[in-house]
Amino acid sequence: MLREYYATPPEKRQASGIVQRLDAQQKTTEPAIQALQVSFIKTHPGSLVSLDAVEEIGGPIPSYTVVAPLFAGLDEALKATAQGQAYGEQVAALKRVAVGAAAPDFSLPTPEGKLVTLAEYRGKYVLVDFWASWCGPCRRDNPNLIQYYNQFKARNFEVVGISLDEVRGRASWLKAVLDDHLPWQQLWTPGGWQQGVAPLYNVRAIPQNFLLDPNGTIVATNLHGEELRATLARLLPVAP
């Protein structure tokens, strides 16, 4: 199928259905491949290939509950390598913002320059949404998020958008907010990826989000589409 994909002109791939068929094939084969990787990791805990497999399973937005036990099972000598130490630091960072952890507080400016803190949202379910104007998947997901925001905002739900646009991209960020008709609070982290809130939440790829309960505890991460809607429907019952 990959031959068909590369043989199809880029502008015709979506219409030809090849992209959809590849996505469906990946969803079918990915669990089997991951099961083989997990089996290899458990039977070869000292192999550098196992460490590579843990990182591959985690992907660009790893889940702490998935990668932490796999990493913990590796030999200590492997964890002590430069690569092992680097990934160990990432696992530790993931733990700080894993489900069940208290969401780190922050203070960020609105487009008008007013500082807003996460603590101000205590008492509500809050989706902290990291995005950027240049992020295609983020922009494509915005219509769904608007739909869910409108559906659940009367049921103690809020969204806080945090832009990772750099200083030179500030105008693009503000234009994207207007073009996409985003109705929730928009904040900006001038430090971008390298400092401030993004490293605090271990954000290394976007879109990425964190769902917090009224106490500020992280109850879910990286929810999109139907999974987000179903989670909100479960957590936010209709008032009697």
Domain ranges of the chain: 2-96, 107-235
What pLDDT was estimated at residue 8? Answer: 47
Stretch 63-89: mean pLDDT: 93
Residue 62 pLDDT level (bands cut at 50, 70, 90): confident
Residue 11: per-residue pLDDT: 53
Least confident of 26-40, 121-135, 163-177: 26-40
pLDDT for the residue 4: 47
Region of residue 113 (phi > 0: left; psi between -120 and 50: alpha; otherwise: beta): left
Whether the pLDDT of residue 160 is over 90: the answer is yes
Q: What is the pLDDT of residue 2?
A: 42
The full DSSP string for the chain is: -HHHHHHS-GGGHHHHTHHHHHHHHHHHHHHHHHHHHHHHHHH-TT-HHHHHHHHHHH-SS--HHHHHHHHHTS-HHHHTSHHHHHHHHHHHHHHHTSTTSBPPP-EEE-TTS-EEEGGGGTTSEEEEEEE-TT-HHHHHHHHHHHHHHHHHGGGTEEEEEEE---GGGHHHHHHHHHHTT--SEEEE-TTTTTSTHHHHTT--SSSEEEEE-TTSBEEEES--HHHHHHHHHHHSPPP-
pLDDT at 218 over 60: yes
Share of the chain above pLDDT 90, in %: 69
Rounded to an integer, the average pLDDT of 219-231 is 94
Residue 14 has what pLDDT? 60
Residue 85 has pLDDT above 70, yes or no: yes
- Signed CA dihedral, 75, 76, 77, 78: sign only: positive
pLDDT at 23 over 60: no
Q: Calculate mean pLDDT across residues 116-139.
A: 95
Q: Compute the half-sphere exposure of residue 175: CA atoms within 13 Å on the CB side of its CA.
A: 7
Q: Which CATH architecture has domain 107-235?
A: 3-Layer(aba) Sandwich (3.40)
Q: Tell me if 197 sits within 8 A of 50, measured CB to CB.
A: no
Per mean pLDDT, which range of 1-10, 44-53, 82-91, 179-188 is the poorest?
1-10
Task: Identify whether the C-beta of residue 88 lies closer than 8 Å to the C-beta of residue 94.
Answer: no
